[in-house]
Amino acid sequence: MNSPAAWSLLLATEHSEFDTGAERVAFALARRQGVALPVVLPVLSNPEFEAVAPQLAAKSDAEAARRRQALLVAAADLALEVGVRRGAEPYLEIIEEARQRDAELLVIRRRGKRGLLANLLVGEMVSKVVAHAPCDLLIVPREARMWSRGVLAGLDPRAPDTSLVDCAARVASTFGLPLTLVCVAESPAEAAAAQAVLDAGLARARGHGLAASGETPRGRAHEALLEATRRAGADLLMLGRHGGGLARAWIGGTAQKTIGLVECPVWIHLGDQG
């Protein structure tokens, strides 16, 4: 796999006020790479809607065109390739665009208006993208910016994934940032396993030439990860999505709580699929 600086990007946005963080970070990554930035702008639509209410469909098309143009203006220094995709399930349009473009890193907001109204930690559309995306994701809160202080990777003692350590090491190395590995033991019975996973992760990270540090805090996983991120001064959190487990345990799970409460971008690495 290429280094993170060379990964092919895809920004998914509705160019609303809730997408400003994702757009900001995606633009910064594209500028750093010096490449064009593909963008998918999903629009909710279906044949029945267009047949029964053509005037509303036309209004929706006009709004999509307006947002597309506003995006081009907002990043006038970048070569944006903005595609509008219409469908009954916007998350499916985003996923299909990622597949067609063979994207390696999909950048998306954390939640939008509907997610906020539903009091969700992560928007419903975004949670579906996280569960089914064919590539790594970068989930960006509205106020977040590009990372510049440190990278923290949260390791799972129950399902260790060496590819997450490799990915985190590449990100830290590419951006010249310190790397911290954290493996939370939620009970005393997990302490030995957490320490073993952490030791293996540190050895692997150091094999990439990084002087990584690590810890095995005790407690509820999402709370420990949030505290460790603050303590380390990290402004990029990396988590793994392996074997479809995140899809099965998404709602109310550790991943959703962590992503929904942290203030910095979260990189979800699509790890081992066994």
Q: Which CATH architecture fits 151-270?
A: 3-Layer(aba) Sandwich (3.40)
Tell me whether the CATH fold assigned to 4-140 matches the one assigned to 151-270. yes
Whole-number pLDDT of residue 46: 73
Whole-number pLDDT of residue 193: 95
**Mind spelling out the 3-state secondary structure of 76-118?**
CCCCEEEEEEEECCHHHHHHHHHHHHCCCEEEEECCCHHHHHC
The tens digit of pLDDT for each residue in 212-259 reads 999 999 999 999 999 999 999 999 999 988 644 444 443 347 788 899
* Section 127-143 average pLDDT: 93
Determine how many CB atoms are found less than 10 A away from the CB of residue 143.
10
CA 268 to the chain's CA centroid: 5
CATH topology of domain 4-140: Rossmann fold (3.40.50)
Per-domain residue ranges of the chain? 4-140, 151-270
Whole-number pLDDT of residue 80: 95
d(CA 197, CA 157) in angstroms, rounded, equals 6
Determine how many CB atoms are found less than 10 A away from the CB of residue 153.
30
Predicted confidence (pLDDT) at residue 184 exceeds the cutoff of 90: yes
Whole-number pLDDT of residue 1: 38
Give the sign of the dihedral formed by CA 125, CA 136, CA 140, CA 259: positive
Stretch (H or E) spanning 66: helix 54-74
Could you give the C-alpha distances from 159 to 206, 241, 255, 274, in angstroms and in order?
21, 10, 14, 11
